[in-house]
Amino acid sequence: MAYNHGYAGKLPVCQQENGYLQQQVLIEADISIGPVSITATRSEAVDFAWPMWYDSSTMLAGLGKPEVDPWGFLLPLAPLVWVGILTALLVGPTAVFLSSSCFSMKTSRWSSYLSNIYGFIRVLLQQDISVPADWWWERMVFGIWMMMTLVLTRSYAGNLMSSLAVRHIPQPYQTLRDVIDDPSATMIWQKNSINAEYLRVVKSGIIREVADLEDEGRLAYHTQMEYPRIVDTLVRQGEYVLFGIDVLLRNLMAKDFTRKGQCEFYTSRERHFPFSASIISQKDNPILPAMHNRMLALTGFGIFEEWFKTSRANSTKCLHPPKTITVNASLSLTNLWGMFVALAGGSVVGLLTFCLEVLTFRGIETFSVSTYDYTTA
């Protein structure tokens, strides 16, 4: 069933002329052959039957290629868990240091505190550690920490193995803001449509920001007849986004799935310009009450909605494409470069710490020698 193709009465429509939208008056007809979106301007020229279709506009974009998150080794544990581990590495050694200072005969020194931190880190990294046998409570603290780290490390290893087998399928353009903030993205809107007209007259808001993209060469207008070619050649690449009526975009995805057997597009979760549509007739048409009754029956029994689902094969196949897939393949350097960055960063920090320790040791040694010479003299 087509929409916006049949009109009744004197229905004004939009036409592009010299950069501005002008109105034309179509020839008179009895009724429309398909649902027409309801607007205040059109209601002045024709009568609408009971709304039979509700829809809105959204965006159609190409699915990205499956990829592994290079920082996926951080994902097995939630951010709060990482914060909890770091907190435990500070609180645990502090508690041991204070307890040793208050209840034992040991001399409280910062070297003892640093030694405790070093011991907790060794346990976390599953390395050996020696605990003095003077006080059993220290063994108890380290034993509890070992049990905790055992659960953490086993959970981390299991989740990491699972996450490395998962490929993420990017769906970056979910809102208009996502498209505006991406300098490489270009939007395509329907030429001579109501949405395009609103885009040219809006004065503020995010739609105004979208309109300003035309000055940057990131906004283009095309007709519905050009959509199949545009979707196949431009939108599929990932840098072009098609903005249009949801049902039209769903039909484009269904047609592509029927042809290729796989989902290569997705629609954004954000919706704009909600509208209702119905068939129309001339003003004060005597058959309008009968049209109302027919529309109520169609919508009340869900017949019209079922027509939309069955009019196009595979119309619901790609409505919710998967965001992740599981594969069994070798990992490459492009998938794991995040770990190598962490390794390089840790090595640099270790080298700087080593240099600081050497300089500190030499400074202390020089100060000790100079003090000894001064005292001897």
Domain ranges of the chain: 12-67+169-326, 68-167, 337-377
Average pLDDT value over all residues in the chain: 78
Mean pLDDT of 192-218: 88
CB 35 within 8 A of CB 52: yes
Is the model's pLDDT at 246 over the cut of 60?
yes
Q: How far apart are CA 217 and CA 325, in angstroms?
A: 35
> Which range has the worst mean pLDDT, 14-28, 79-93, 328-342?
14-28
pTM above 0.85, yes or no: no
pLDDT at 373: 56
- Using the CB atoms, write b or e for 163-202: b if 16+ within 10 Å: bbebbbbebebbebebbbeeeebbbbbbbebbbbeebeee
- Which tens digit of pLDDT belongs to each residue from 98-153? 766 665 545 455 556 667 777 787 788 777 777 665 666 777 777 888 888 888 88
Q: 98: which 2 tokens?
A: 């204070």
- Whether the predicted pLDDT of 258 surpasses 70: yes
Q: Cβ neighbours of residue 121 under 8 Å, at least 6 residues apart?
A: 89
**pLDDT band for position 189 (cuts 50, 70, 90):** very high
Taking the alpha carbons of 256, 258, 263, 269 in that order, is the dihedral positive or negative?
positive
More confident residue, 85 or 2: 85
More confident residue, 309 or 83: 83
**DSSP, res 209:** H
283 burial via Cβ count (<10 Å: 0-12, 13-18, 19+): middle
pLDDT for position 11: 42
Backbone angles phi, psi at 15, to 5 degrees: -140, 140
Architecture of domain 12-67+169-326: 3-Layer(aba) Sandwich (3.40)
Residues 37-47: pLDDT tens digits? 887 778 888 88
**In the chain, pLDDT over 70 holds for what percent of residues?**
81
List the alpha helices (DSSP H) in 10-132. Answer: 40-43, 79-103, 110-124
Is the confidence at residue 57, as pLDDT, over 70? Answer: yes
Q: What was the pLDDT predicted at 239?
A: 85
